[in-house]
Amino acid sequence: MKLLHVMAAFAAMFLMGMFVSSDAQLQMNFYAKSCPKAEKIISDHIEKHIHNGPSLAAPLIRMHFHDCFVRGCDGSVLINSTSGNAEKDAPPNLTLRGFGFVERIKTILEAECPKTVSCADIIALTARDAVVATGGPWWSVPTGRRDGRISNLTEASNNIPPPTSNLTTLQRLFANQGLNLKDLVLLSGAHTIGVSHCSSMNTRLYNFSTTVKQDPALDSEYAANLKANKCKSLNDNTTILEMDPGSRKSFDLSYYRLVLKRRGLFQSDSALTTNSATLKMINDLVNGSEEKFYKAFAKSMEKMGRVKVKTGSAGVIRTVCSVAGS
């Protein structure tokens, strides 16, 4: 009889485990009952304001990317630090924009449904909605992420792929997040919109190595143009550069065409052509349709949005996105 009781207890625990694990997954319309207007509030806010700042789509998708690569997609990139030791204080995040935009959405949602919608979900949804509002692809954003309370500068510096990365580094950092070479190529496609600064690629022009001043993998005509008209010295840290010149407002295949012409802005762009598998992927994209690219990009964005998420009883719902203990 005692054995039967033990077996029954184990069976009950197993069933409870099944329910907990199924409840603790991301799902579409997670807030349907707890905050039914949440996703519409976000999309409406973006529709209302994106036309005043159409360039915000690129920073918001970059924020989502940088958030997911450090402790998973948990909104920790938004946290302020009084000691200057948070993720947003790390070199890769010093040029991030959109923090105030996300916080304003959070304030509206807190008024509608207090302590319900996570900052992590707001980042994921704003990234998608901002890209869509500017004519880019749509992708599914299942929700139910919860927020973290730890935000660390060193972790951000160690996990976010720098623009100076070679393919080995890129592959390792993406693999750490459960992302493969295909995801690397497709997510790099987000460089089709937005801008960067000379500080992200100056070494390619002036100080590439001890033996070569200029990166031989960079098209010489393009390099000469950048030196003459944009990044006029190694010390220029402020001049703005288009990552996809002439097409930075259009979410299209132009970025990949430039990469094949050795005109990708970053070493990490150029690195995609140094591997036969990634090079083939780029050629296949360029020779395919924009619709095919959009579908593939959407799958990789959905995959990235699930990286190491906190769900169920893990994590918290921060009431102020920039405050860890809120």
Report, as residue numbers or ranges, the catalytic residues: 66
How many helices (DSSP H) and strands (DSSP E) are in the chain? 14, 2
Tell me how crowded residue 145 is: count the other CB atoms within 10 A of its CB: 31
- CA gap 42, 311 in Å, rounded: 21
Q: Is 219 annotated as a binding residue?
A: no
Q: Is 142 annotated as a binding residue?
A: no
Q: Is 284 annotated as a binding residue?
A: no
Q: Is 55 annotated as a binding residue?
A: no
Q: Is 315 annotated as a binding residue?
A: no
Decide: residue 99, CB within 10 A, 0-12 exposed, 13-18 middle, 19+ buried. Answer: middle
Q: Is 67 annotated as a binding residue?
A: yes
Q: Is 211 annotated as a binding residue?
A: no
DSSP 79-113: ---TTS-SGGGSGGGTT---HHHHHHHHHHHHHHS
Residue with tokens 């069976």: 11
Strand partners, 146: 310
Q: Is 70 annotated as a binding residue?
A: yes
Q: Which tokens is 11 given?
A: 């069976």
DSSP at 161: P
Q: Is 76 annotated as a binding residue?
A: yes
- For residue 196, give the H/E element and its range: strand 195-197
Are 73 and 309 spatial neighbours (Cβ–Cβ below 8 Å)? Answer: yes
Binding-site residues, in ranges, read: 67, 70, 72, 74, 76, 87, 161, 191-192, 244, 252
Q: Which residues are annotated as a binding site for heme b?
A: 191
**Residues making up the binding site for substrate:** 161
Report the binding-site residues for Ca(2+).
67, 70, 72, 74, 76, 87, 192, 244, 252
